[in-house]
Amino acid sequence: MIATRRSLLSLVAVALLLAACSATGISTPSVTPTAEPPVAAPASTARPMEHGPERVVHLAPLARPVEPAIPVRYDAALLADHCVDRDVAAPPATDVVLTVLDRSYGLAADYAPADLVTASSAGLTGSSGTKLVRSVVVEDLAAMGAAWREAGLSVIVESAYRSYAGQAATFDSWVSRLGYAGALVRSARPGHSEHQLGTAIDVTSPGWAGRLGDWAVESPEGAWMADHAWRHGFVMSYPAGSEAQTCFSYEPWHYRWIGRDAAAAHRSSGLHLRQFLERYVGG
């Protein structure tokens, strides 16, 4: 009880003192509690920092890398005197469609592609649709045929795949017209024709008479082929001015499919086809 009375008296004394200080204008000192250390909010609940409008940084486009050069793939040099008529087995290539054929290098008599189909598979009609080509040619031949029609042109596939025996008959027909020596530069001996690969076509147009004029100049169809066939993977095997290198006469109607990428590279190279195909031998 005594302790309780003392506590009460102490409280009363404090109250009277505060009242007296308030009446006389004396301020009491404030007591600042000890500050607790700040507690960081958990990472999952922390508010993100406020930013101004986002800046868009425009980077200059990267330069396109230089396309690598097509590597030389042959293991041994090809015959330098390939205009000599002989029967040497064509050297293996990275793909058979890139096989080098000339007056020296040839195919076996029993060689025939296993995937021959009619050109009607490419949407060609009439006599053109009856010709045989390899199935790998169909997609590009179809696209080229559509381009002919869109341009209002009438291109006829006069010849495509020829077997060894079929080429022998063709060569003999030239011998009967021009003699043996003349036939050697106008037609390939059996086994040496690109037609046996199933990827070469001879093309013409209505009204074109014979093979002694310049179809690439004298007809719109021939001019179109000379300018655009490469876009569809077809290249002219024996262009004008290349007789000394190809050993055959100029044939503006003869085109060989080597694929779009290779055809574009061939066009950029400035080489005639045999020179260009050397880099794929022995792959």
pLDDT given for residue 183 in this prediction: 97
Average confidence score pLDDT of the chain:
81
Compute the distance between CA of residue 137 and CA of residue 150 in angstroms, rounded to an integer.
20
pLDDT digits (tens, 9 = 90+) for 256-275: 999 999 999 999 999 999 99
Please check the confidence at residue 92 and state whether its pLDDT lies above 60: yes
Q: What percent of the chain has pLDDT over 70?
A: 71
Question: pTM of the full predicted structure?
Answer: 0.73
Written as six digits, the tokens of 225 are 């082929």
Query: Looking at the domain covering 88-205+213-280, what would its CATH class be?
Result: alpha beta
Task: Output phi, psi for 116, to 5 deg.
Answer: -70, 135
pLDDT digits (tens, 9 = 90+) for 140-158: 999 999 999 999 999 999 9
Task: Output phi, psi for 255, to 5 deg.
Answer: -125, 140
Please check the confidence at residue 121 and state whether its pLDDT lies above 60: yes
Number of Cβ atoms within 10 Å of the Cβ of 17 = 11
Pairing of strands 105-106, 88-89: parallel
Are the CB atoms for 153 and 205 separated by under 8 Å?
Answer: yes
Burial of 186 (0-12, 13-18, 19+ CB in 10 A): middle
Any idea where the domains of the chain sit in the sequence? 88-205+213-280
